[in-house]
């Protein structure tokens, strides 16, 4: 026969067994991606198991992005009603990383601080720069043709006759253009030669590489509790939520696809040495001054392509007037190429 003390212990044991509750932990500990739905199965636990779960922290608030049932309500991350305001299930194509897209200088929003990737598009950088040019004074020269007789000079309407005597420039050396002989029939000036040049300065370098646009992709740490092919990510308002993958890929399930983003570039460009092209100089305001008797004084003048059929005795000749200075254009040649690298595809919600 059992005494009173034994009856009391038996009663307490029986009461404890009747108060044990069964809890469903089928969704706890899931990982984002396919098969990550909460409540995928049902597991019963004894009172001893329940007590152990409570001892490991199941009474805390739900962390919506760690793949665990933190508050032991049998719902993980996005499947937990506690996460409805701040979390959303996003399509997760193979190898894509969920995140948010912001301007390159902006900080990443809360919930998207797992990492940062700078993205660029619209690469440009053609040509070379750094060359300069200094124009040199424009010079002129004229060929003079002698006629043996005045009648030959006067008859040369086409201005092609005479015998080449001398090329003259601005300095006058007092040497007669007819070599000192008294015989003289006149002189003709051919078209003036314009002598123009520039001196190159500087060092040619490739133009800086520039991107037309830059953005920053802020990575999220994805949670679970979504359907197959989805991840749980923080919710943004307004939404600029995207997924990022290397290379060109499709964006099934997203409203916008942008595959023209890159992560950097390679630059093999080089420039040749600086050179210059002179242009625009002329001798339009220059004329030939004809002297007399071995002297350079002003005996007669001719413009280019004209003739003088008067008399002169052993005349020197030279140019007078002011040429028009030229302008300079720098030139160099570019070799090599500028190429974007790290092509990436963005799939965005909006």
Answer yes or no: is 346 within a domain: no
- Nearest alpha carbon to residue 94 among 216, 283, 201, 246: 246
pLDDT digits (tens, 9 = 90+) for 220-233: 888 899 988 888 88
The verdict on 164 and 299 lying in the same domain is yes
Identify the pLDDT of residue 222: 84
Are 92 and 192 members of one domain?
A: no
pLDDT of res. 234:
87
Tokens describing residue 270: 């080089």
Three-state SS at 56: coil
Q: Which residues pair with 194 in a beta bridge?
A: 140
Would you say residue 16 lies in a domain? no
Task: Answer whether residue 292 is part of any domain.
Answer: yes
Confidence (pLDDT) at 182: 63
Separation CA 183–CA 145 (nearest Å) = 14
Alpha helices in the chain (DSSP H): 4-18, 47-55, 150-155
171 located within any domain: yes
Its pTM stands at 0.60
If asked whether residues 91 and 140 sit together in one domain, one would say no
Same domain as 238, residue 103: yes
pLDDT at 216 over 80: yes
pLDDT of residue 180: 64
- Residue 118 domain boundaries: 87-122+210-265
Task: Give the chain's domain count.
Answer: 3
Residue 342 clears pLDDT 70, i.e. is over it = yes
* Token pair belonging to 331: 């030139």
253 and 286 co-located in one domain: no
- Asked whether residue 137 falls in the same domain as residue 197, the answer is yes
Contact of 198 with 9, CB cutoff 8 Å: no
| The pair of three-digit structure tokens given for residue 288, joined into one six-digit string | 């030939």
Assigned token pair, 158:
């086409």
Token look-up 């040199």 returns 136
| pLDDT surpasses 70 at 31 | no
41 & 95 share domain: no
Q: Which residue has the tokens 């003390």?
A: 5
The two three-digit tokens of residue 23, written as one number: 């809890």
- Whether residue 163 is found in the same domain as residue 306: yes
- Length of the chain counted residue by residue: 350
Beta bridge partners of 245: 345
| Pairing of β 139-146 and β 344-348 | unpaired
Q: Give the separation between CA 193 and CA 187, rounded to whole angstroms.
A: 18
Residue 45 has pLDDT above 80, yes or no: no
Q: How does residue 181 score in pLDDT terms, banded at 50, 70 and 90?
A: low
Which of 29-33, 67-71, 81-85, 157-161 reaches the highest mean pLDDT?
Answer: 157-161
Q: Does any domain span residue 50?
A: yes
Average pLDDT over residues 138-160: 95
Do 77 and 92 reside in the same domain of the chain? no
pLDDT band, very low/low/confident/very high, at 37 (cuts 50, 70, 90):
very low
* 257 token code pair: 């696809």
Q: What is the pLDDT of residues 273-331, one digit of tens each?
A: 999 999 999 999 999 999 999 999 889 999 999 999 999 999 999 999 999 999 999 99
Examine the pLDDT at 26 and tell me if it is beyond 50: no
> Given a cut of 60, is residue 24 above it in pLDDT?
no
Is the CB of residue 59 less than 8 Å from the CB of residue 72?
Answer: yes
In a domain, 252, yes or no: yes
Is 80 exceeded by the pLDDT of residue 41? no
Is residue 146 located within the same domain as residue 278? Answer: yes
Are residues 112 and 259 located together in one domain of the fold?
yes
Structure tokens at 12: 């307490």
Residue 16 has pLDDT above 70, yes or no: no
Assess contact for 62 and 98: CB atoms under 8 A.
no
Q: What's the whole-number average pLDDT of the chain? A: 82
Residue at 5 is within a domain: no
CA distance to 28, 134, 142, 276, per residue, from 199 (Å): 79, 5, 24, 7
Residue 336 lies in a domain: no
* Segment 197-208, tens digit of pLDDT: 999 999 999 999
Do 178 and 279 fall within a single domain?
yes
In this prediction, what percent of the chain has a pLDDT beyond 90? 59
């Amino acid at each position: 026969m059992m005494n009173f003390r034994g009856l009391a212990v038996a009663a307490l044991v029986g009461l404890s067994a009747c108060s044990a509750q069964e809890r469903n932990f089928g969704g706890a500990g899931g990982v984002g991606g396919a098969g990550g739905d909460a409540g995928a199965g049902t597991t019963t636990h004894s009172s001893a198991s329940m007590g152990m779960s409570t001892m490991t922290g199941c009474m805390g608030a739900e962390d919506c992005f760690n793949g665990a049932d933190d508050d032991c309500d049998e719902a993980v991350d996005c499947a937990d009603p506690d996460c409805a305001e701040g979390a959303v299930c996003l399509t997760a194509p193979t190898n894509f990383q969920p995140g948010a897209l912001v301007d390159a200088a902006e900080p990443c929003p809360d919930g998207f601080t797992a990492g940062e990737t700078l993205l660029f598009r619209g690469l440009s950088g053609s040509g070379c720069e750094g060359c300069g040019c200094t124009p040199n004074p424009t010079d002129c020269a004229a060929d003079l043709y002698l006629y043996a007789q005045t009648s030959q000079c006067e008859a040369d309407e086409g201005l092609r006759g005479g015998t080449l005597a001398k090329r003259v420039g601005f300095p006058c050396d007092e040497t007669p253009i007819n070599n000192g002989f008294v015989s003289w029939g006149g002189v003709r000036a051919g078209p003036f030669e314009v002598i123009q040049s520039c001196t190159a300065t500087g060092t040619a370098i490739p133009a800086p590489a520039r991107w037309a646009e830059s953005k920053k992709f802020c990575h999220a740490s994805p949670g679970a509790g979504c359907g197959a092919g989805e991840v749980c990510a923080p919710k943004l308002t307004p939404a600029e939520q995207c997924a990022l993958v290397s290379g060109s890929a499709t964006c099934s399930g997203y409203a916008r696809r942008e595959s023209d983003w890159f992560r950097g570039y390679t630059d093999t460009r080089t420039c040749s040495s600086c050179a210059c092209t002179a242009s625009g100089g002329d001798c339009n305001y220059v004329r030939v001054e004809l002297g007399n008797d071995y002297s350079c004084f002003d005996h007669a003048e001719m413009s280019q392509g004209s003739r003088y059929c008067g008399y002169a005795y052993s005349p020197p000749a030279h140019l007078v007037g002011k040429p028009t200075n030229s302008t300079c254009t720098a030139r160099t040649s570019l070799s090599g190429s500028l190429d974007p690298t790290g092509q990436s595809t963005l799939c965005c919600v909006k």
